[in-house]
Every structure is written in structure tokens, then in C-alpha cells.
Chain A
Amino acid sequence: MAADAPAALIEASSLTKVYERGGGRAGFTAVDGIDFQVRRGEAFGLLGANGAGKSSTMRMIACVSPLTGGGLRVLGHDSVTDGPAIRARLGVVPQDDTIDGELTVRENLLIYGRYFGLSWKVLRERSTRLLEFTRLSDKAGDSVSTLSGGMRRRLTIARALINEPEIVLLDEPTTGLDPQARHLLWERLFQLKEDGVTLLLTTHYMDEAEQLCDRLVVMDAGRIVAEGAPAELIARHTSREVLELRFDRLERQTMTDRCRGLVEHMEELPDRLLLSTDDGEETLGAVHRRGVRPVTALVRRSSLEDVFLKLTGRSLLD
């Protein structure tokens, strides 16, 4: 890492967003004084359930949403005063895509690029390269209405790269994609990272967060409840293994009650019971000795999902 590079590309301090509500009601606090920093070249994740404030945070960083309080510096600029200069160096993949239905696939790249003041010559070359990068070359001349959801997502990503941004903001980039398309996207994102692009992404997929993010924060109701590398968070907040039990619907309550006190932390989900433990097999034995008969029992390693459940008391995909 270059010594003269700024310590952090994104610095949020007590970042706050309150949405005004009509009818004289008090405003709604979507982001409640969060602090975090994103370093150059890293992939940083924002995790959180629906309504946690991820998109609100992303939009403030993208300088399309004024802060209500706190400070935000992006690429060394103050986001309040230097919005245009910051936006010029960002790539943005918003949660609901803003692909232009009036233009063809290729025109979407060209015309968007014009907004950054790029010449047609540069844009022709870049759009060809980006369409290849996102495997959309065959579709270049087609109307965007003929694209599938996954293709639209890829086009949005291609478009976000047209200005060769230093930071790319990806708000749920793979939601709604099939597994193959997701893996293709992950591979592309890795490639970007290798090229030195800083990534900031939100996701509901724990595997995605574990795969892609060097560091992440878990948000809940507008606050940050944990921060660290995925492995670090798992080590810090959960036991080594998890025993997952499923019960017959009629027996669920009695069986759950019998398991109480067996382990330090137990998570009751609508469809499963999760027991945190350092040795899943041994806990399973203890469960059986108490006369608990699950329909299925599964021992697995703890994951980010468990961290999330423990910290927020919520399932990510609720």
C-alpha cells in the first residue's frame, strides 16, 4: 500500500439520517449515529435485516442523500460540500436498478458515460470492454426490456464501472440472481478488487459476505452492533459449532423446553432450534439423553448467520 494513500477512503463519524414524516410527526431515524472507516482496496460489507439502514447509509455515501447529522468524508472530500467531485469518482449500483428503458444495452453505457464528461471515443472502447466483462456482448444492440433480471443487474454493474471508479457501491448486487449468475458476479467483483478498486456492499447472503468481504459491520435498527473480519466475528460472538434441531410441529414446544439449560446460548427460530456449542456431537448426545427426539439433527460450523442471529435476535432473510 502506498504510504501517501489516505488512511481511509470512507470515514463516517456519528453519521445520522432522519427522514421527515408528514403531519407533524417526529422524524424517523434510519441511521443512528454510526462510525466506520473503509480503507483503500478493501471490500467492506454492510449486513443487516430489512430496514436496518443499509441503503440509507449507501445513499449518503453516494452523495444523493443529505446527512441529518455527523460527518462523512469520501475520497478525502467532505460529502456535504463536494458531492459532484465525489460522485465523479464513484460507481453506484443502487438497490432498485435505474437502467434506462428508452435506450439499448450499449446506449445505457454510452449515455451514462457522457454524464461523466467522457468522450465518445473513450466510451466506445470502454463499453465494449465492459460488456465483455459482464458477458453482455451478445445483447449490446438489444432493448433493455429483453434482459432478464440477472442481465439487468450485470448491466447496472457494467454501467457503474464506466467512469473507472475508485470506489464501487453495491447495494444488494446479487439479490434475485440464480446461483450461477451470483458466482459470475462474485468472480467479477474479485477481479475488481484485484485491480485495486474499493468495494462497499450490502447483502442478505451470509455466504456472500464471508466470501467477498474483508471486513464488515452488522447493522440493526440504524446502529452498528458489531464490526470486524468475518472469521473474527464468528470467533468472537459464537461458539465453534451449532447443533440444528427440527421437531414435529406438535412436539416442538415440549422438546424445546427440554433442551433449555443444556447450552449457554440457544436460538429459537420458527422452523428450527439452534444450540451453540463447542462440540456438536457431544451436545447431540446430551439432547438424546434428555429424551428429546428431533425429526432431523445437524451439526455444522458456526457461520455469520449465527453471529447475526445472536446480535440482532433476527433472521437475515425474514
Chain B
Amino acid sequence: MLWFEERPNVAAPRPEESGLRLEVRRFLDGECKAGGFVPRPNNWVAFDRAFSIRCAEQGYVGTTLPKQYGGGGKSARERLVICEEMLAAGAPLGSHWIADRQSAPQILRHGSEALRARLLPEIAAGRCTFAIGMSEPDSGSDLSSIRTAARKVDGGWRLDGRKVWTTNAHHADYMIVLCRTAPRGEDRYAGLSQLVVEVASDGVTVRPIRNLAGEHELNEVIFEGAFVPDDNLLGEGGDGWRLVNEELGFERSGPDRFLSTYPVLRLLVAETGKDPNRYQAVAIGQLLSRLLAVRSLSHSIADLLANGERVILAATMMKDIGTALEQEIPQVAGRLLEIHPDPHGSGFAAALAAALLNAPSFTIRGGTREILKGIVARELGLR
């Protein structure tokens, strides 16, 4: 196709949505000024339950969930607008981010009615934190090799095994755990299932893992015969591979894959001032052009979704180049300004430090850059 389609989701200022943008921006501005949060990069991980509840009161959580489950019944486009605004502002979204981004849609599509009725309203109210239970000590990129297993018992499942790198498990109420429900056979993708596990259950232990910035985001989660009721199985059982890939689709395709360090770009431009030298102007122009290009690609995914077309190729490319940009922004910012990154400082110095220290994870979490390129190559027909 060599022509330019008329696309509804043009990534440009759009008058019809400026009302919503301004409303979210005013809310965030008020929060920020009242000391509700300090804008930081990588803030979609930062846990702040009270902030999430205030967001939910405005309708900024569970936006697309059906009204019968306490959601806003709004369009994906409206959710995108809200998410972009919150990310650009560097607001602490960690308490609801994973639930809103991937767990809720997963439960809505594949959960039992009992589970939906119980959990979705809590998520939409901003009162419920979810964690992602995919990775294990011996299974990262190759998720089909996981060993955490659930065996069938009366009324549910008994879960044994160990997950690792679990973001915010220490704050989480629930965790969607990928596990084996049938022994591994010829087809390594068969016999996997997804269970919604209550983290406070007996037989679940959460241990902290400090990251290189000294922050406690990651955890190890150990399951020792933890009981999971039947209602908490997603899908039919045995279809976990398809389900986990759908979940990864939600995890990989959003604006958090190119805006994580936007707050650094904002501060860089502010610190540079109105009169940049040629070198600064060129470097900022390069970053901004890339941001706009990735954002356009990201919005084109919304068009594909609306037309019922496959999004995996566009979404994977977006995450790959978007996360590369997220890493590039603090590198360039650090070169342009003579301000030392300072984890204990404030303003640009603190934001730069947080971005530089967290940057290595951007191209690992949610699927490594190498795995993403492999998916793109597969979609191109190379493998």
C-alpha cells in the first residue's frame, strides 16, 4: 500500500480531545502543586495508593472497563489520552498501572464472572494493585520453560514454585501467575495456565530484591502449596501460552514504552533556556523528532486496533524504538548540561539520576530488545 490513508488517530493536537487533556492536566497540576507528587521519570512503577485512588475518583483508572464493573465505559482513545498526560507529568502510577494496563483487560476477557464481579470494581476504584507473575529464576526470555506448577485439588489448585523480578509484589493484592497445569510434553507451549493468585494467601512469600539504584521495586515470590480457587483460573486451562501472549500485547503496546523519561526531556528543555547553542538545539531537535515519530507509530496502533487488524508488528517495533529513545534521552541530557546527576538531589539532577540508573531496565522488562527484534523478523517472514 503506497498511499496515505485517512487515519482517525492522528498524533497531533486534536481540538475534540483538548477538553479531556486540559482536565487531566489541571488535576495533575493541582496534585503536583499541593505536594501530591514530585515529577520523576520511570514513575509508572512508583507506588502511591492514595494517589491512585484520587485518580480513580476522577475516572482515570479502569477508564475502558464496562460500567457494570465500575469502569468508565470509555473508549481506548480516551484512555490513551489520560495515560499520556499522566506519564508526561511524571506522576506516580505504580499502584494501579499494571492492573489498569494488563490485568483488568485480561480478567475482563478471560476471567470467570465471579472473578470479574469481585476484582474489576476494585481495580476501577484504584484500590487494587496487581503484579505480573511470568519470569522465574531459570526462565526469562524463554517463558515456555517455567517450572511453577499448579495441581488440581478439590475446588481449586495448589500452587508450587517461584517467580522473580516481580514488580511491586510487596504492594500487590493479586498476581496473575503463569504456571504449568500439565507436565511439559512434545509441545512446550501446551499445558500452561494463568491463575489469579491472592498475594496474602497462605503459602505465598514475598522477598525483596533491591535494584542497582537501591530502590525496592523487584521481588521474589515463593509459592508453597498456595491454594487458588477454581474461579481464579483465566481461560479454559491449558491455554496459558495464548493468554500470556495476549497479556504481553497489552504490556508492550502503550505510551509507557516511550514516555518513561519524558520528564527528563522537559527539564532539559527548561534548563537549556530560550537561547540554546547550536549543539544543544540540534541534539534537542533530534530527541524531539524521534519522540514525535514514535508517538505517531504508537497512535497508529490505535487505528489498527479499531479496524480489528493485527497489532503485534507495530506494537513490537514501537516498544523497541520507544525504549531505545527512553534510554537515549538521559544520555543526551547528561551531555548537554553541566549538571551532575544526583540521586539525592532535586529537579534536573535527581530526574537525570533516576533516569540513568533505571535506563538499563527499559530494554529488558516486558521482553528484551533482542526478543522484540526476533518477533519483528518473524512478522517480516524471516523466521
Q: Do A and B come from one complex?
A: no
Q: B: which residues have CB within 8 A of A?
A: none
